Amino acid sequence: MTANSYGFDTLAIHAGQEPDPRTGAVVPPIYQTSTYAQDAVGAPRLGYEYSRSSNPTRDALQECLAAIEGGRRGLAFASGLAAEDTLLRAVCRPGDHVVIPGDAYGGTYRLFAKVAENWGLDWTAVPLDDLDQVRAAFRPGHTRLIWAETPTNPLLNVADIAALAALAHEYDAMLVVDNTFASPYLQQPIGLGADVVVHSTTKYLGGHSDVVGGALITATDDLGEMLAFHQNAMGGVNGPFDAWLTLRGIKTLGVRMDRHCDNAERIVGYLGEHVAVESVLYPGLESHPGHETAAKQMRRFGGMVSFRAAGGPEAAIQICNRTKLFVLAESLGGVESLIEHPGQMTHLSAAGSPLEVPADLVRLSVGIESVDDLLADLEQALG
């Protein structure tokens, strides 16, 4: 099944998920097995030998991921960072260079600064919405990747995917896009020129805060084959039950994202008028510097909202501590609403670096609850 022949919601429900040929089960079985009986020496049945290498439940998820992102090959991993690490070590070599966002996710920054750098990979952080700065950061012959997030976590900056792809390809580099915040329902980077899409499937794809996982989706078969080799050789795969949970979440991705967006838009309007809020960061606002780009490449503007507290860092922390329905927790993209203080939670690893986030920043992952209840919770928390 491909995006050329079916709509998004049809692909989310059916791609890679044909009824089981043996029993007719309409939901893919959980193949909770480590190994497989072979018909003869050198003749594995249907190609299955060992579940690190391949597993039917994971294969179903991978086929679905490729379909909903409009890619050629999907690969599922134990976490988003396992996917990122596999990609970096597959396509880069010691001495190579990567351009990353000036406000990258804290875990991605930690991977580059504390792990990949020790392996010999160099990197430069620049604001990816400024193409002149991106071009200036390039080291011809050494820059292997532009690593983009759009919208970024947690400042919700927006980068022009098509423009970054053209720039990367001009220098014989690749564009990698972390599409976790938008999800494939709201944005499909491969169709805009990206070479690889990265996801933490823990977030919107799984959607229920009950599974950890990651994914890579490639624009070409050759790149997909190379990454599949490294997926098996490095072994950071997700298990069959995790793959099954993620598939279950994907089935409702479209309808969930519409509700996330509806609720987020109401909350943005409320926060923008509250005296306890200094400013609201959301690509759907016409005042947002990336609004026109987001409107061009996204279906809607997502369920993630950040704001800066008028009372400063201590006020931001107190707001986080006072909510009732908004659960104080890391992660995002689940059906329940979450609130966090990025500076002391998800982005603590960037403290003291050029990627440090403002101490008065609050990040909301707006869930799908009744929006009036969420607004009432914010009212009492904001005081």
Q: Known catalytic residues? A: 52, 105, 178, 203
C-alpha distances (whole Å) from 70 to each of 198, 217, 299 are 13, 9, 15
State the virtual CA torsion across 353, 354, 356, 358 in degrees, nearest 10: 140
Range list of H helices, the chain: 8-14, 56-69, 80-91, 106-110, 131-137, 161-170, 183-186, 221-234, 240-250, 253-271, 291-297, 313-322, 371-382
CA atoms of 362 and 155, how far apart (whole Å)? 10
Candidates 102, 104, 137; CA nearest to 122 is 137
- Of 171, 99, 98, nearest to 141 by C-alpha is 171
Cis peptide before 44 (omega within 30 of 0): no
CA 148 remoteness from chain centre: 11
C-beta of residue 57 within 8 angstroms of C-beta of residue 243 = yes
Angle at which helices 80-91 and 221-234 cross, to 10°: 110
Burial class, 107, CB count within 10 angstroms (exposed 0-12 / middle 13-18 / buried 19+)? middle
- Number of C-beta neighbours around residue 236 at 10 A: 19
User: Which burial class, exposed, middle or buried, applies to 299 when counting CB atoms under 10 A from its CB (0-12, 13-18, 19+)?
Assistant: middle
Distance from C-alpha of 242 to C-alpha of 250, rounded to nearest angstrom: 12
Facing residues of 309 across strands? Answer: 277
